[in-house]
Amino acid sequence: MSSTIVAIAADHAGFALKGELAAVLAEQGYQSLDLGTHGPESVDYPDIAERLALALRDGRAGRGVLICGTGIGIGIAANRFPGIRAATCANATMARLARAHNDANVLSLGARVMGFEAARDCLLTFLTTPFDGGDRHQRRIDKLG
Ligand code: RB5
């Protein structure tokens, strides 16, 4: 899915990892949209999540990657927006199943709880795993609204 633009955004806790993952996206041929934050100064993760959710809503990106300290707060915030299915993942298995079963369109990562290699594995798995489809999974996703 390298034709899809990948939006990436982080709070201050995820700022450094955002830079490293943006480099992975470029190296893998993905076009990315960096929505900040652009420095280590403290910011509020709900504001960052909103920025990315609106980018997906407006069609400026097809997938999103969010990073905060744990991946939890920014994932919770993103899931408040209609159409967003953000999955907080700590390993590639979670990222694979988030795509295959949940058709997640946002990957949420925790910079304080995982290293670069695990984050990279999550990212690449998230971007390359298709949704399994089928009545069972689609019916459940439809119930999310
Ligand atoms: C910021 O200190 C931290 O609370 C935030 O990055 C995130 O981990 C919240 O869930």
CB 88 within 8 A of CB 104: no
Q: What's residue 4's pLDDT?
A: 87
Determine the length of the chain: 145
- Alpha carbon of 72 to ligand 1 centroid (Å): 8
Q: What is the DSSP string of 7-59?
A: EEEE-GGGHHHHHHHHHHHHHTT--EEE----SSS---HHHHHHHHHHHHHTT
Q: What's residue 10's pLDDT?
A: 99
- Alpha carbon of 78 to ligand 1 centroid (Å): 14
Domain residue spans of the chain? 5-144
Catalytic residue status for 68: yes
Phi and psi torsions of 67, nearest 5°: -140, 130
- Alpha carbon of 131 to ligand 1 centroid (Å): 29
CA–CA distance, 75 with 62 (Å, rounded to integer):
17
Q: What's residue 2's pLDDT?
A: 44
Ligand 1 pocket residue status of 13, Cβ below 6 Å: yes
CA–CA distance, 40 with 53 (Å, rounded to integer):
22
Measured CA to CA in angstroms, residue 95 lies from 36, 70, 132 at distances of 23, 15, 13
Which residues does the chain have with pLDDT short of 50? 1-2
CB 20 within 8 A of CB 5: no
Query: What CATH number has the domain spanning 5-144?
Result: 3.40.1400.10
Q: What's residue 6's pLDDT?
A: 98
* Residue to probe by mutation, ligand 1, list 15, 18, 66, 68, most atoms within 8 Å of CB: 68
